[in-house]
Structure 1
Amino acid sequence: MSNRCVRLSALGTAALVVLVTATPASAASVTSDADRATRQQSWTGAWGSSLYRPLAPLPWSWPNWSWDGFTDQSLRQVVRVSAAGSEVRVRVSNRFGQQPLRLTGASVARTAEGAAVVPGTVRPLRFEHRDDVVVPIGAERYSESVRLPVRPRERLTITLHFAGGTGPVSYHEDGLATSYRAAGNLTRDTSGTAFANDTGQSHYLVSGVEVRGVRNEGGVVAFGDSITDGWGSTPDTDRRYPDRLGERLLADGRRLGVVNAGVSGNMLLTDSLCYGDKGVTRFRHDVLGQAGVRTAVVLIGINDIGGGGLPDGGCGTRPVVSADEVIDGHRALIRAARQRGITVIGATLTPFKAYAGYYTPQKEEVRDAVNRWIRSSGAYDEVVDLDRVLTDPRPGHGDELAPVYDSGDGLHPNDAGMDAMAEAVSDRIPEGPADRS
Structure 2
Amino acid sequence: MSRAIMFRRLWRLPRLLVPLATALLLTATGATAEARSAPGPGAPARTRAGAWTGTWEAAASGTAPALPGASVRNVVHTSVGGRAARVRLSNRLGTAPLRLGSVTLALQRPGEPGSPRARAGSVRAVTFAGARSVTVPAGRDLVSDPVALRVPAGANLLVSVHTPADSGPATYHRSALQTNFIAPLGDRTAEESGAAYTVAVDSWYYVTGVDVLGAPAAGSVVALGDSITDGTGSSPDANHRWPDLLAARLRGLPAHRRPGVLNAGISGNRLLLDGRGPSALTRLDADVFSRAGVRAMIVLEGVNDIKGTPEQTDPCALEDAYRLVVRRAHARGITVVGGTITPYGGHAAYTPAREAVRQAVNAAIRTHRIFDAVADLDAAVRDPAHPDRILPAYDPGDHLHFNDAGMSALADTIDLRSLSAPRTPAPDHRARPLSPR
> What TM-score do you get using the length of structure 1 for normalisation?
0.82
Q: Kindly provide the amino acid, as one letter, of the partner of residue 249 in structure 2.
A: R
Residue matched to 1:286: 287
| Whole-angstrom CA distance in 2 between matches of 1:425 and 1:208 | 23
Deviations 1:225-254 (A, max 9, x none): 000000000011000000000000102334
Please report how far the alpha carbon of residue 327 of structure 1 lies from its aligned counterpart in structure 2 after TM superposition: 1.0
Give 2:323's match in structure 1, choosing from 326, 331, 343.
331
1:160, 1:143 → 2: CA distance?
13
Written as runs of structure 1 = structure 2, the 5 A alignment for 1:304-315 is 304-308=305-309
Give the secondary-structure state (helix, strand or coil) at the position aligned to 2:360. Answer: helix
What is the CA distance between 1:342 and its match in structure 2?
A: 1.3
Counterpart CA distance in 2 for 1:190 and 1:343 is: 41
Unaligned runs of at least 5 residues, structure 2: 1-43, 422-437
1:346-386: CA deviations, max 9, x gaps? 22111011111x21111111111111111111122221110
Confirm or deny that 1:347 pairs with 2:339: yes
CA distance in 1: counterparts of 2:420 and 2:324, whole angstroms: 26
The Cα shift of 1:38 comes to 6.4
Q: For each residue in 1:185-239, what CA deviation from the matched residue of structure 2 results, as whole angstroms up to 9, or x when unmatched?
A: 111101111113x111011111110001132200010111000000000011000
**Residue in structure 2 matched with residue 261 of structure 1 by the alignment:** 264
Name the SS of the counterpart of 1:365 in structure 2.
helix
**Aligned pair 1:72/2:61, yes or no?**
no
1:52 aligns with 2:57: no
SS of residue matched to 1:304: helix
- Residue 431 of structure 1: how far off its partner (Å): 5.9
Number of matched pairs: 370
Residue number in structure 2 paired with 1:40? 49
CA contact (8 A) 1:245 1:426 kept: no
Unaligned runs of at least 5 residues, structure 1: 1-34, 55-65, 309-317, 433-437
> Superposition RMSD on alpha carbons, in Å?
1.5
Report runs of 4+ in structure 1 exceeding 4 Å deviation.
none
The C-alpha deviation readout for 1:20-53, integer Å capped at 9, x for no partner, is xxxxxxxxxxxxxxx9x96222111100100033
Aligned residue in 2 for 1:405: 394
State which drifts further: 72-81 or 374-383.
Answer: 374-383
Distance verdict in 2 for CA 1:211–1:387, change over 3 Å: same
Distance 1:38 1:325 in 2: 35
TM-score with structure 2 length normalisation? 0.82
Q: Is the 8 A contact 2:47 2:293 kept in 1?
A: no
Match of residue 253 from structure 2 = 252
For 1:154-303, what aligned pairs fall within 5 Å after superposition?
Answer: 154-182=155-183, 183-196=185-198, 198-253=199-254, 254-272=257-275, 275-303=276-304
Could you tell me whether the CA contact under 8 Å between 2:62 and 2:174 is conserved in 1? no
Percent of aligned positions with the same letter in both sequences? 42
In the alignment, residue 429 of structure 1 is paired with which amino acid?
S
Aligned runs of 1:356-371 on 2, under 5 Å? 356=348, 358-371=349-362
Contact 1:74–1:162 under 8 Å retained in 2: yes
Q: Helix, strand or coil for the counterpart of 1:280?
A: coil
User: Residues 194, 246 of structure 1: CA spacing in aligned structure 2 closer, same or farther, 3 A cutoff?
Assistant: same
Is 1:372 aligned to 2:363, yes or no?
yes
Letter of the 1:193 partner, please give it: A
1:88 Cα shift?
0.5
CA distance in 2 between counterparts of 1:167 and 1:276 reads: 18
SS in structure 1 opposite 2:298? Answer: strand
Offset of 1:430 from its aligned partner?
4.5
Residue identity in the other structure for 1:323: P
Q: Could you tell me whether the CA contact under 8 Å between 1:284 and 1:336 is conserved in 2?
A: no
- The reply on whether 1:81 has 2:78 as its aligned counterpart is yes
Distance 1:408 1:290 in 2: 35
1:177–1:83 distance in 2 versus 1, CA, 3 Å: same
1:424 aligns with 2:413: yes
Q: 1:277 to 1:136 in 2, by over 3 A?
A: same
1:332 shift after superposition:
1.2
After superposing the two structures, state which structure 1 stretch, 117-126 or 250-259, moved more: 250-259
Partner letter of residue 89 of structure 2?
A: V
